[in-house]
Amino acid sequence: MTVIGLVASPGAAADLTQSLLADLTGLISVRLPEGDWHIRLAVDRLVDAPADLNRLVDAARRRLLDEGWQMAVCITDLPLATQRRPVVAHASATHGVAVLSLPALGAVGVTRRAADAIVRLVEALLGEVDTQNADLDDRATRRRRVALYRRTRELNELPVPESGAVGLIAGVLTGNLRLLLGMLRANRPWRLVSRLSRALVAALAVDILALVTSDIWRLANALGAARLSILTVGSLLAVVLSLVLGAGLWERMPPRTAGPAIRQQVALFNIVTILTVVIGAVALYGELVILTAVGVLVMVPADLIAAALGHPVGISDQVRLAWLASSLGTLGGALGAGLESDEAVREAAYHYQPDNELTADR
């Protein structure tokens, strides 16, 4: 059984949601016939105005865990925006939370549009649906339906993990692998750092500075592969810790009394969070390696490096320089990430899928 919690703001949003309850289970079952869907309604404003999307998602996530739901759809009467764009309907597969802003639906056909949006958001919360691309061919549509079928079954047949932290994590990884991968894909972790301007600028600035500093050339010449590898791992770890701890992305594990389903949700959330940030850090490092290698060839003549080192320079020397500069640039990115606001980091880490088709109907 999969429980979907509808959290509606008091007033018009709650009245509208109440009028939809009788039909929503049937509408969701038509689109996702493999699931055993149950809907619960809670009337709660969650946050006071003014509020941003991150605060609302966090509050809905806490309500989801308190109630023991698998998903939550927040129907709010607050006008919202993310990245300076109005929010109509957004979903975070990692949080298991979707948000629908009633003011953004307009004044005509609100009931029909709200029902359709809720069903589409439930699909998006399964972690596979590309709500930004409505023009899918038949083959892509079939693949999407198969993926939805698998994820729906996984939500309805969650295995009970073994006792203990290790057993819990192992159970989440083995029993929810496809669901985890779908949530991870929805976050688009390879774009993480590109959404954080301060981290990206700091990484590039340190990288360029390292390339034109003769002391760095000599240091790269002196360091072996083992030490450079340790520096690489350390720089990636710095980025991960800066983002996860700095922005409070880690969700505390609830006590055993909360039940295995809630603990499993939190474990799945934290695993996806760590993987998202790790892949984002690795993507940053890979981009810096490519840019630095080009920079070594273009900006730093080999004879200039040779004069500083006192011996002829070969490819291996240039590789070590690019390697060291990339690691230092990644450390700079970690420092830049520490300057980002918590809201910016959370918005970058947990990609909110906008429902562009719904927006286009406005």
* Range 150-174 average pLDDT: 53
pLDDT band for position 284 (50/70/90)? very high
Smallest Cα–Cα separation from 61: which of 49, 73, 77, 79?
Answer: 73
Q: What integer pLDDT is reported at residue 150 of this predicted model? A: 59
Angle, helices 260-299/165-175, rounded to nearest 10 degrees: 70
pLDDT greater than 70 at residue 351: no
pLDDT band for position 138 (50/70/90)? low
pLDDT band for position 72 (50/70/90)? very high
pLDDT band for position 78 (50/70/90)? confident
pLDDT higher for 161 or 186?
Answer: 186
Q: What integer pLDDT is reported at residue 106 of this predicted model? A: 73
Kindly report the average pLDDT of the chain as a whole number: 80
Which segment of 72-81, 82-91, 276-285 scores lowest on mean pLDDT?
82-91
* Range 9-34 average pLDDT: 87
| Calpha distance 296→216 (Å, rounded) | 12
Structure tokens at 164: 């203990």
Q: What integer pLDDT is reported at residue 360 of this predicted model? A: 43
Q: Where are the alpha helices (H) located in the chain, listed in sequence order?
A: 12-31, 53-67, 110-125, 138-156, 165-175, 177-187, 197-211, 214-222, 225-246, 260-299, 302-309, 315-339, 342-349, 356-360
Q: What CA–CA distances, in Å, run from 42 to 16, 118, 129, 226, 244?
A: 13, 15, 26, 56, 31
Quick: pLDDT tens for 207-255: 999 988 889 989 998 998 999 999 999 999 999 999 999 888 888 877 7
Q: What integer pLDDT is reported at residue 175 of this predicted model? A: 53
